[in-house]
Chain A
Amino acid sequence: MKRLGLFIFLFGFTGISVFAAESQQVDTGSTAWMLTSTALVLLMIPGLAMFYGGLVRSKNVLGTMMHSFAAMGVMSVLWVAVSYSMSFGSNVMGGWFGWNPDYLFLNGIDESILPGGVPEYVFSMFQGKFAIITPALIAGAFAERVKFRGYLVFIALWGLFVYNPLCHWVWAEDGFLFNMGAMGAIDFAGGTVVHISAGVSGLVAAIFLGRRRGYPHRQMKPNNLVMTMMGAGLLWVGWFGFNAGSSISSGLSTAQALTATQAAAAAGAITWIIIEGMHQGKMTALGFASGILAGLVAVTPAAGVVKPAGAMALGAIATIICYIMLIYKDKLGFDDSLDAFGIHGLGGIVGALGLTFFIRDSWMEEAAKAAGGSWTVWQQFGVQATAVGIAIVYAVVSTVVILFVVEKTVGLKSSVSEEMQGLDHSYHGERGYGMLTPN
C-alpha cells in the first residue's frame, strides 16, 4: 500500500512539486529496483508475443506477434502524450478520468522526485508498461482474424477510453474505487485494471468479430509450442517486475509481493498438470504454461495483501476455474482464440474476489482502524465485488462502442480471403518461417 503515500504526494502537493523536488533526495536502492521492474514489465510484452505467436497457425505467426509489438509503439506514444495525464492527473469530468496539463508529454515532471525517493519519470514509465500489455492481452481473444490497421486504431481508442479511466479510478489518489470502503478496493498490480478489463473486452471483441473460419470443427493447432514455452517463461520472469515493482519501493512489501508471485505461479502450474493428468491422461507443456499464467493472473491483485499460503490457494483455485472454463468454451460457441478471457478475465476475477479471504491480519487491523472500529471480510468482499462489477460493465459497454466505430470506419474484421491467406501475407507481406529454405 505504498502507493497511497505516493499519491498523497502526487496529488496533494503538485502545486509545490518544484520545491519538493529540490529537497527530495533520490533513494538509489528503490530507484534501482524500479528501473529493473520497468524493464522486466517490458520484457513481458515480447514474452506475450512469443506465447501468442506460438499458439496460432504458421500463416499468422508474424501478424499475431505484431499485435503485441505494435502495442509497444502505439501505447508508449499515447502514454507520453496524454495517457499519463489521463490516468494520474486530478479528477475531471466528474472523475471519469484525470487531467493535469503538466503531464502532457511528461513536460512537467522533468526534475520531479517522488517522496519514496523515486524519480517520477521512473514511476511514469513503469505505469506506461501496464498500459502496453493490457491491449496486447486482448489481441489473444480475436487472434487470426483482424485487420492490422483496424487493430491499431482499436488499441489506441481502447487505451484512451477504457484503460486510462479504469487506471485512474483504481490507482489514482482521487479515483473513486481507490477510496471505496475502509482502505479502497484492493488491486495491487492490476487484476481489475489489466486482466479483468482485457479479458472481458477480449470476450466482447471475440463475439463481435465472430468465429474464425472453420472453428470449432477444423483443427487449429499451435505452430510452435517451443516458442510458446519460452514466452511463458519470459512472462513469469517479467511478472516479478509487474507485481513486486507495484510496491513502488524496494523493501518489505516488495519482498512480500515477490514471494506471493512465485508461490501462486508454481501452485497454478502444478494444479493444472495434475488435473490434466487425471482428466486427459497426459500432462502437457501447454497445460503447464497455462497454469503458470492462471496463477500469476490470480495473484496480481492480491500480491500486496496475501501471505504465501494464500497466494498458493489463489493460484490453485484460479487454475481449476480456468480449466473448467476452457472445457466449456467450445460448447458455448464463442471463439476466444487464445483464451484471453478464459485465463486473464476469469483468473483476474478469481484473484480480485478470492483475495478477500486470504488478506493478512495486519491489513485487516489497519482497515478496521481506518473504518473507525471494525471491518469484516465480507465488507471488503463487497468492495471487491463492486469494483469488479464496475470494471466489467464499463469495459463491456465501451468496448462495444469502440468495436462498432472501428468496424464502420477503418474496418476490423478480416475478409474471407485475407483470413484464409493468413495475416502475414495479407497485412505484412512477409513470412514468419521458411527463411531457411535454400534461397
Chain B
Amino acid sequence: MKLITAIIRSYQLEEVRESLIAADITRITVSRVSGHGVQQSEEIYRGKKVIPGLIPKVKVEIAVNDEFVDVTVEAIMKAARSHNSNQGEIGDGKIFITPLEECIRIRTGERGPSAI
C-alpha cells in the first residue's frame, strides 16, 4: 500500500479529478495548502502585478494498493501538467509516494489492502 500525495496548481484540480475518475481512481482527499517551490506566481490586483510569497496550491492525497500506483501517478501527471508545451512549466507541482503501514476502514474494522 502506498500513499500518493500530489501538490498541484489549484486551478488544475478539476482536470486532475476528471483524469483520476477516468482512470477509475475515485477515492481522494483534497485540501487547500500554500507554499512555494521554485515557482514565482504573479497575480494582478488593481492593475499591479503582485508576487505572493506563499502560493496557494491544492494537495491531493490518495491511498492505493501497489498495483495502482503507476496508473494514478500517470493520471495526475497528464492532467496537472501545463498545456502550452509538452514539457510542462515550473509550478506544475510535485508528487510524493510514501509507504503506507496500515489502512483501517472505520465502519467494519477491516484492515490492509482490502480496506483501501
Neighbouring B residues of A421 by C-beta, 8 Å: 11-12, 14-15
A280 proximal to B (CB < 8 A): no
A438 proximal to B (CB < 8 A): yes
Query: Of residues 381 to 439 in A, which have CB atoms within 8 Å of B's CB atoms?
Result: 417, 420-422, 425, 428-431, 434, 437-439
Pick the residue among B12, B15, B45, B56 that contacts A434 (CB under 8 A). Answer: B56
B101 proximal to A (CB < 8 A): no
Report whether B11 and A434 are in contact in the complex, using a CB–CB cutoff of 8 Å: no
B83 proximal to A (CB < 8 A): yes
**A424 to B, closest residue via Cβ:** B11
Neighbouring A residues of B53 by C-beta, 8 Å: 439
Least CB distance, B108 to chain A, in whole angstroms:
26
Apart from A420-B15, A428-B44, A437-B34, 12 more pairs, CB < 8 Å: A59-B11, A422-B11, A429-B44, A430-B43, A430-B44, A431-B43, A434-B32, A434-B34, A437-B32, A438-B54, A439-B52, A439-B53
Query: Which residues of B approach A to under 8 Å, CB–CB?
Result: 10-12, 14-15, 18, 32, 34, 43-45, 52-54, 56, 83
Neighbouring B residues of A420 by C-beta, 8 Å: 11, 14-15, 18
What 4 pairs between A and B have smallest CB-CB spacing?
A421-B11, A420-B14, A429-B44, A425-B11
Report whether B11 and A439 are in contact in the complex, using a CB–CB cutoff of 8 Å: no
Q: Chain A CB within 10 Å — which of B10, B18, B45 has the most?
A: B10
Interface majority SS (helix, strand, loop, mixed), chain B: mixed
Interface majority SS (helix, strand, loop, mixed), chain A: loop
Query: Which residues of A approach B to under 8 Å, CB–CB?
Result: 59, 417, 420-422, 425, 428-431, 434, 437-439
Can you sample 23 A-B contacts with CB below 8 Å? A59-B10, A59-B11, A417-B15, A417-B83, A420-B11, A420-B14, A420-B18, A421-B11, A421-B12, A421-B15, A422-B11, A422-B14, A425-B11, A428-B44, A429-B43, A430-B43, A437-B34, A437-B56, A438-B34, A438-B54, A439-B52, A439-B53, A439-B54
